[in-house]
């Protein structure tokens, strides 16, 4: 089933349900004030809805109106090929908590399995209810492995990657080890297997020319994190890409070792897929099994 069909089903299920067209109710004198259907009808009459494309449909009809996302819909996403980008359904690889039958011992075929998370060491949750940005499942759908184009089966324990890991776990200090062993890696197009140096895409705190406003030219730039320019305008700090003493939760290390899901997805595929937005809203609403 392709994305368009899934989204069409979602909109009718979440917004319209089995109700008739609003004008028919209005002609019969029925009052729909307070219903999401009636509000949608009013917005259409007033020209507030100008919907073009799947993302706009999800944003206007579901996200802006805080429509409850049910687990039943999330279950459909986990079971449907191409639902979250071109690729196999999630449960093809993740349908059991038995690591001998399912990658990472992760069961995405049930709500309880999703909330239980990965059972193979390192054991870790993939959903943090109420916090989609902290949820590993969402991160896996959003984030490409770096550098772009690195093969899916590229080793994640190369000397170069282990050097970055050691630096982070040792405290991510601005010391001789960083300046002589780590920083040069970000300038080397062969260091991490993708054929491009990190600084080709991350060399400024402005986007463009630097993706996510990440600057990897210096220690100060790296520690300033992502979106620093945008966040500073709002009185906020940048989003850290390095967490000292914790490589596992440092986006820099994660990007060097963690492939985007589903396997084989084109790195150019947008990270804000409409169904990913719905999954994020489900997590934000509490990730309820109902």
What pTM was estimated for this model as a whole? 0.78
CA 121 → CA 49, 104, 205, distances in Å?
A: 48, 8, 36
Q: What does the pLDDT read at residue 4? A: 52
122: left (phi over 0), alpha (psi -120 to 50) or beta: beta
3-state secondary structure of 203: strand
Q: Which two tokens stand for residue 185?
A: 């890696």
Give the model's confidence band at 166: pLDDT under 50 very low, under 70 low, under 90 confident, else very high.
very high
Q: What does the pLDDT read at residue 50? A: 63
pLDDT tens-digit readout, 113-134: 999 999 999 899 999 999 999 9
Determine the Cα–Cα distance for residues 235 and 248; give it in Å rounded to an integer: 28
Determine the Cα–Cα distance for residues 164 and 180; give it in Å rounded to an integer: 12
Domain ranges of the chain: 3-63, 71-144+263-284, 159-257
Q: Which two tokens stand for residue 125?
A: 């949750």
Least confident of 8-17, 52-61, 120-129, 258-267: 8-17
Closest CA to 217 of 205, 229, 227, 203: 203
Whether the per-residue pLDDT at 20 is higher than 80: the answer is: no
Q: In the 8-state DSSP scheme, what is residue 242?
A: -
3-state secondary structure of 158: coil
Q: What does the pLDDT read at residue 21? A: 40
Whether the per-residue pLDDT at 204 is higher than 50: the answer is: yes
pLDDT tens-digit readout, 234-275: 887 889 999 999 999 999 999 999 999 999 888 888 888 999
Q: What does the pLDDT read at residue 27? A: 45
């Amino acid at each position: 089933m392709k994305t368009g069909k899934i989204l069409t089903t979602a909109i009718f299920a979440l917004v319209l349900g089995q109700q008739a067209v609003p004008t028919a109710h209005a002609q019969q004198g029925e009052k729909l004030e307070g219903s999401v259907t009636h509000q949608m009808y009013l917005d259409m009459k007033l020209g507030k809805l100008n919907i073009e494309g799947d993302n706009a449909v999800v944003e206007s009809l579901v996200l802006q109106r805080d429509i409850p996302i049910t687990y039943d819909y999330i279950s459909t996403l986990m079971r449907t090929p191409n639902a979250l980008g071109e690729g196999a359904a999630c449960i093809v690889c993740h349908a059991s908590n038995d690591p001998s039958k399912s990658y990472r011992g992760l069961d995405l075929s049930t709500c309880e399995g999703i909330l239980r998370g990965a059972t193979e060491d390192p054991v870790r949750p993939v959903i943090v209810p109420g916090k989609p940005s902290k949820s590993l499942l969402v991160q896996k759908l959003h984030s490409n492995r770096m550098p772009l184009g690195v093969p899916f089966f590229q080793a994640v324990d190369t000397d170069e990657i282990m050097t970055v890991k050691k630096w982070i776990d040792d405290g991510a200090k601005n010391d001789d080890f960083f300046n002589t062993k780590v920083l040069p890696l970000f300038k080397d197009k062969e260091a991490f297997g993708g054929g491009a140096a990190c600084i080709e895409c991350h060399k400024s705190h402005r986007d463009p020319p630097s993706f996510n406003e990440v600057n990897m030219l210096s220690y100060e730039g790296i520690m300033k994190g992502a979106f620093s320019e945008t966040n500073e305008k709002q009185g906020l700090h940048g989003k850290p890409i390095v967490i000292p003493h914790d490589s596992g939760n440092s986006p820099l290390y994660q990007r060097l070792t963690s492939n985007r899901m589903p396997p084989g997805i084109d790195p150019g595929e947008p990270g804000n897929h409409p169904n990913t937005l719905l999954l994020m809203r489900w997590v934000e609403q509490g990730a309820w099994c109902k």
